[in-house]
Amino acid sequence: MNVAVIGSGTMGNGIAHVFAQHGFAVSLIDINQPALDKGLATIGKNLDRQVSKGSLGADDKTATLGRISTYTSLSEGVLNADLVVEAATENVELKLNIFREIDQYAPETAILATNTSSISITRIAAVTKRPTQVIGMHFMNPVPVMKLVEVIRGYATSDEVTAKVMDLSRKLGKTPTEVNDYPGFVANRILMPMINEAIITLHEGVAGVEEIDTVMKLGMAHPMGPLQLADFIGLDVCLAIMRVLHDGLGNPKYAPCPLLVNMVMAGRLGVKSGEGFYSWTHGTKELVLAERFQK
C-alpha cells in the first residue's frame, strides 16, 4: 500500500515515520526541499531514540528511512497513492485548496484523509468529487509514541472507508476511536475549553501559572498542567481551535480568553516562539515562568 503524507512538520513527519516503520511505502510532500530535509532529520533522530531504548533494531531504522521518498510536487507525490494523509497547518482555506489539488491528481480509488484537529471533515470533503472517500485521521502528538487516532466520519464518509481506516490504524499499532463530525470532534471539544478555562482562571487572578498547573497535575493526575500543555501545542493553535468551536457551535462559553488572544497577537506562542506562559530553552525541556507571569 502506498501512502502519501502532505506536510513534513511535527505531525507530518511523525505520521510518515509510523507508516514507514510499519512497512508502508511513504511519499512525504512539502513545499521545498529544506523543509523535507528537516522532517527527515527529525524522523532519523526519533528512530535513533527508539534504537537506543531497544524498541527498534538498527537495521529497522535503515529500512524505515528507505521506505520514505520525498517530493516538492504534490501532483507527483500523490500520483500512485492508495491513501493520502494531509498534515498541513491548521488553516481552513489552505486545507481546502490542498484537497482540491489532491482530488485532481490522486487515483480515483484513493482514500483522502486529513489530520485536522478541529476543522469540519464534511466541509473539506465538499470541495472534492469523492466525499464518500474523505475522512479524518487525527493522530496525537508525538505520533510515534501516542496510541490514539481519532477517526472522524464526515457527513458522506462511507462505512467501507471508515472500516478500512480503522483497520489501517490498528496495523500501525494505534487504537482508533470512531467519532462524528462536530466542531473539535472529541479530543479538542473537551481539551481546549479546559485549557481556555485555565487561561481565564489566570486572567482573572484566581491563581498563578505554577499554581494552576500544580493543581491539575497533582489533584487531577494530569501528566502536565494545562498552561504548560498549551505552550507545547502552540497558543496560536489553541486559539484557532477555540474559534472553530465558537463559530461552529455558537455558544459564548467557547469564546477564547482575551489573554490568549493578546498573547497570540504579541507573538507569544509557547515552545515554538520561545515564550508563552513559560520561557523555553530550545532543545531541552527546561522551563521557567515567563517574565510577565513572575510574582
List active site positions: 117, 138, 150, 188
Q: Do the beta carbons of residue 128 and residue 78 sit within 8 Å?
A: no
Q: Do the beta carbons of residue 196 and residue 204 sit within 8 Å?
A: no
- What is the phi/psi pair of residue 89, to 5°? -55, 150
Q: Furthest-apart CA pair in the chain: how many Å? A: 59
C-alpha 18/C-alpha 26 separation (Å) is 10
Per-residue cell: 71:
517530493
Is 11 annotated to bind ligand?
yes
Q: In what order do the strands lie in the sheet with 148-153?
A: 68-71, 25-29, 2-6, 83-86, 111-114, 134-139, 148-153, 175-180
Is 9 annotated to bind ligand?
yes
The length of the chain in residues reads 295
Q: How far apart are the first and last CA of the chain?
A: 56
Per-residue cell: 55:
524498541
Is 12 annotated to bind ligand?
yes
Q: Do the beta carbons of residue 128 and residue 103 sit within 8 Å?
A: yes
* Cis peptide bond upstream of 223, omega within 30: no
Q: Do the beta carbons of residue 5 and residue 30 sit within 8 Å?
A: no
Is 69 annotated to bind ligand?
no
Per-residue cell: 261:
488572544
- What is the phi/psi pair of residue 285, to 5°? -105, 10
Is 7 annotated to bind ligand?
yes
List residues forming the annotated binding site for NAD(+).
7-12, 30, 90, 95, 117, 141, 272
List residues forming the annotated binding site.
7-12, 30, 90, 95, 117, 141, 272
